[in-house]
């Protein structure tokens, strides 16, 4: 079995379409993960013990169970209850919710790292809850969070092939469809792997650089 | 669905009736987890320690390994091993392919943990073992690694949960694990929520047991360490 450039060029247009879906899924899912994660992190600091316990076990449940099964649940079960989403929407929702439990930890750590004096200062300025978060806490908490959040973006990008299991035609499924109809497995699958490497290695290096930069600023 | 609550209680029984294959699936998932965890752990140490080797070629090879397996997606690696390698005459059965893919993938992540743990050990420890005229092997075996392990355990615990979650993906290359069995039940009974809910709970229980085990190990190691430090002072 030898590499054939003919097959490689033949499959490229379909892969290109898949790439677009992969990128869209990554962007939408990561935005969802960031927004939800911040929400969860703030709610986890609530005064109500019951809310904290419920949130803790809900997020742990999501974190300790496979994304693939969660995808199946949303994709196969929701239609039974009359809720019809496109496969893409299901996939993005699950990815976003799953990783929001991870980003919530990043946000929580970032918020915890803001010195207590800042909270007291905000109080002494007679800021209300909203102003405290918006003007004092978040501007200080967010910069150190950027590198880990960037890392989760890369992780989410690498998890998108799972969406193929619920019929989203992203990069991986596009290659798989081609493979199954042409019985050519080597070229499509290799190209998918190469594409992931091309994107994730430079972005990993970028994330590392970000990390170094923000560390220096702290000192 | 007229009455969700009573409906589910009723249908749950139908899913439970499939308990033999659910147990089979659970066993397969556990076997897959244990075997790939062993492989991943071995790779973590080999690659992680290669990263701090004196020889540049070893370091470069380790980085290539790391970036390759961390950079391309786990599902792609699995399909590559199971569907593409046979075309070059390298055949694996599904379980072996799954173990290799999961082990190699998580091994890459684990190597960073090993490297971080070893680098976290103070420089004076290296110098002390040099002063004792330890060979490099003895230095790592008796001085560096025993001190690095407590640092590594919590992160390894997180990776173990990631590994367990990754085994579900192996159902896509026809390994009959829990997720695969849930599909069989779904097709046979036309139920959707119940089979997946049952396996979610099973996954959660397995993961929680793993978390507990890692906690106990971490406590054991850190306790030993405290005594050592107390003895030294």
Residues B141-189: pLDDT tens digits? 888 888 888 889 989 999 999 999 999 999 999 899 999 998 888 888 8
Contact A204 B171 (CB under 8 A): no
Say if the Cβ atoms of A66 and B172 lie within 8 Å. Answer: no
Which of chain A's residues have a Cβ under 8 Å away from the Cβ of B196?
A: 69, 72-73, 76-77
**In total, how many domains does chain B have?**
1
Give A158's contacts in chain B (Cβ within 8 Å): 71-74
Q: How many domains does chain A have?
A: 1
Q: pLDDT by residue (tens digit) across B1-50?
A: 444 554 555 567 777 788 888 999 999 999 999 999 999 999 999 999 99
User: Residue B137's CB: how many other CB atoms inside 10 A?
Assistant: 8
Count contacts between A and B (CB, < 8 Å).
Answer: 117
Which pLDDT does position B225 carry in this prediction? Answer: 61
| Chain B residues close to A61, C-beta within 8 Å | 200, 204
Q: Which domain holds residue A195?
A: 5-218
**Residue A213: its pLDDT value, please?**
80
- Is the CB of B192 less than 8 angstroms away from the CB of A76? yes
Q: Which H or E run contains B136?
A: helix B136-138
Q: Which residues contact A124 (CB under 8 A, 6 or more apart)?
A: none
How far is Cα A154 from Cα B170, in angstroms, rounded to an integer? Answer: 21
Any idea of the CA torsion for B186, B187, B190, B191, to the nearest 10 degrees? 0
Q: Is A66 on the interface with B (CB under 8 A)?
A: yes
The pLDDT value recorded for residue A33 is 95
d(CA A92, CA A25): 6
Q: Does A201 touch chain B (CB under 8 A)?
A: yes
Most B CBs within 10 Å, among A7, A22, A60, A66, to test the B interface = A66
Chain A residues within an 8 Å CB radius of B211: 64
Interface residue A196 vs chain B (CB under 8 A): yes
| Mean pLDDT on A157-169 | 89
Q: How many CB atoms lie within 10 A of CB A10?
A: 15
Candidates A178, A186, A215; CA nearest to A16 is A178
Distance CA A136, CA A111 (A): 11
- B80–A72: do the CB atoms touch at under 8 Å? no
- What CATH number did the domain enclosing A131 receive? 1.10.3720.10
Q: Which of A26, A65, A95 to mutate to test the interface with B (most CBs of B within 10 A)?
A: A65
**Separation between Cα atoms, residue B16 and residue A77, nearest integer Å:** 18
Q: Which residue of A has its CA nearest to B183?
A: A72
Count the neighbouring beta carbons within 10 Å of the beta carbon of residue B90.
Answer: 10
CA distance A83 to chain B (A): 12
Average pLDDT of A150-164? 90
Going by pLDDT thresholds of 50, 70 and 90, the confidence category of residue B224 is low
Burial class, A193, CB count within 10 angstroms (exposed 0-12 / middle 13-18 / buried 19+)? buried
Instruction: Name the residue range of residue B18's domain.
Output: 4-232
Question: Which of A68, A73, A197 has its CB closest to that of B72?
Answer: A197
- For B71-111, the DSSP string reads HS-HHHHHHIIIIIGGGGT----HHHHHHHHHHHHHHHHHH
Provide the H-helix boundaries in chain A: 5-44, 49-63, 67-72, 87-112, 116-124, 129-131, 138-159, 171-182, 186-218
- Provide the whole-model pTM: 0.85
Q: Kindly report, residue by residue over A14-44, the tens digit of the pLDDT.
A: 888 888 999 999 999 999 999 999 999 989 8
Q: Work out the minimum CA distance from A76 to partner chain B, whole angstroms.
A: 6
Residues of chain A contacting B194 with CB distance shorter than 8 Å = none
A121 contacts chain B (CB < 8 A)? no
ipTM of the complex: 0.83
Residue among B72, B54, B51, B49 nearest B62 (CA): B51
**Using a CB-CB distance cutoff of 8 angstroms, which residues of chain B are in contact with residue A77?**
192-193, 196
Cα gap B46→B111, rounded to integer Å: 8
Q: How far is B233 from chain A (nearest CA, A)?
A: 31
Instruction: Indicate which CATH number applies to the domain containing B106.
Output: 1.10.3720.10
Going by the DSSP 8-state scheme, the letter that residue A137 receives in this structure is I
Q: Long-range CB contacts (< 8 A, 24+ apart) of A203-207?
A: A203/A150, A203/A153, A203/A154, A203/A157, A204/A151, A204/A154, A204/B67, A204/B70, A204/B71, A206/A150, A207/A147, A207/A150, A207/A151, A207/A154
Distance, in Å, from the CA atom of A152 to the CA atom of A175, rounded to the nearest integer, reads 25
B165:A65 CB<8 A: yes
Measured distance CA(B63)–CA(B108) in Å, rounded: 9
Q: What count of other Cβ atoms lies within 10 Å of the Cβ of residue B229?
A: 9
């Amino acid at each position: 079995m030898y590499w054939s450039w003919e097959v490689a060029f033949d499959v490229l247009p379909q892969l290109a379409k898949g790439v677009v879906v992969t990128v869209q899924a990554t962007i939408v899912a990561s935005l969802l993960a960031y927004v939800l994660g911040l929400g969860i992190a703030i709610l986890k600091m609530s005064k109500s013990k019951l809310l904290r316990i419920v949130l803790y076990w809900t997020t742990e449940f999501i974190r300790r169970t496979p994304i693939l099964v969660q995808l199946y649940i949303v994709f196969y079960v929701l239609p039974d209850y009359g809720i019809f989403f496109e496969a893409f929407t299901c996939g993005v929702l699950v990815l976003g919710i799953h990783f929001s439990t991870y980003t919530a930890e990043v946000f929580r750590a970032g918020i915890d790292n803001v010195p207590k004096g800042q909270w007291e200062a905000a109080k002494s300025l007679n800021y209300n809850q909203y102003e405290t978060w918006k003007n004092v806490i978040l501007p200080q908490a967010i910069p150190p969070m950027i590198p880990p959040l960037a890392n989760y973006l890369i992780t989410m990008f690498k998890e998108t092939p799972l969406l193929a299991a619920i019929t989203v035609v992203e990069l991986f499924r596009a290659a798989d469809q081609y493979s199954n109809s042409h019985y050519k497995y080597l070229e499509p699958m290799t190209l998918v792997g190469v594409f992931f490497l091309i994107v994730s290695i430079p972005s990993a290096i970028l994330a590392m650089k970000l990390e170094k930069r923000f560390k220096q600023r702290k000192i | 669905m007229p009455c969700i609550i009573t409906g589910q209680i009723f249908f749950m029984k139908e899913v439970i009736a499939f308990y033999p294959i659910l147990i089979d699936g659970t066993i397969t998932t556990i076997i897959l987890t244990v075997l790939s965890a062993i492989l991943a752990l071995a790779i973590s140490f080999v690659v992680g320690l290669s990263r701090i080797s004196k020889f540049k070629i070893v370091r470069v090879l380790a980085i290539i390994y790391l970036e390759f397996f961390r950079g391309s997606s786990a599902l792609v690696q699995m399909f590559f091993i199971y569907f593409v390698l046979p075309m070059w005459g390298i055949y694996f059965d599904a379980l072996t392919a799954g173990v290799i893919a999961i082990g190699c993938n998580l091994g890459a992540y684990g190597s960073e943990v090993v490297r971080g743990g070893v680098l976290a050990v103070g420089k004076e420890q290296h110098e002390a073992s040099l002063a004792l005229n330890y060979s490099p092997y003895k230095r790592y075996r008796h001085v560096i690694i025993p001190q690095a392990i407590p640092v590594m355990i919590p992160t390894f615990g997180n990776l173990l949960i990631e590994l367990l979650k990754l085994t579900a993906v192996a159902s896509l290359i026809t390994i009959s694990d829990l997720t695969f069995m849930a599909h069989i039940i779904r097709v046979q009974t036309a139920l959707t929520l119940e089979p997946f809910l049952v396996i979610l709970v099973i996954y959660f229980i397995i993961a929680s047991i793993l978390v507990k085990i890692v906690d106990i190990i971490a406590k054991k190691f850190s306790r030993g360490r405290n005594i050592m430090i107390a003895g030294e002072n």
